[in-house]
């Protein structure tokens, strides 16, 4: 995650606006929209950390869980031809389509579960 900031288990994006000549980003994996910006990378990191701290305080005040929870289920939309091809290959390998997709994601992430 080279283009992400991390602080207290929260992640934030890093982008640059040529027009505004500043860095900006948002906290990822939360249910709200929290933005931050800075004129340098050092300033962006500072404001990201402040945004996370403020968000945690706001969530505590509201009795809200700050980080998004993942259930382990999501919908993937594919062109019908790709869906068919994946189902056929999964079947040839003796896998369910779900297990085939799981293996593909693990391979892409280069992790082991």
Nearest alpha-carbon partner for 22 in 3, 42, 49: 42
- In sequence order, what are the beta bridge partners of 6? 11
Inform me whether the pLDDT recorded for 112 exceeds 70. no
Inform me whether the pLDDT recorded for 14 exceeds 60. yes
Structure pTM? 0.73
| Cα 89 to Cα 96: distance, rounded to the nearest angstrom | 10
Residue 3: pLDDT band with limits 50, 70, 90? confident
The predicted-structure confidence for 24-66, as pLDDT tens digits, reads as follows: 999 999 999 999 999 999 999 999 999 999 999 999 999 999 9
Domain spans of the chain?
Answer: 4-62, 70-113
Provide the greatest CA pair distance for the chain.
Answer: 54
Average pLDDT value over all residues in the chain: 93
| Cα 25 to Cα 91: distance, rounded to the nearest angstrom | 42
């Amino acid at each position: 995650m080279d283009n992400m900031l991390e602080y207290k288990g929260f992640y934030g994006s890093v982008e640059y606006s040529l027009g505004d000549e500043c860095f900006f980003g948002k906290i990822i994996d939360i249910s709200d929209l929290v933005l931050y910006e800075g004129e340098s990378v050092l300033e962006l990191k500072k404001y990201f950390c402040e945004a996370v701290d403020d968000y945690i305080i706001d969530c505590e005040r509201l009795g809200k869980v700050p980080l998004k929870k993942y259930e382990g289920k999501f919908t993937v939309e594919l062109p019908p031809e790709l869906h068919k091809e994946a189902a056929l290959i999964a079947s040839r390998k003796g896998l369910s389509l779900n297990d085939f997709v799981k293996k593909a994601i693990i391979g892409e992430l280069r992790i082991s579960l």
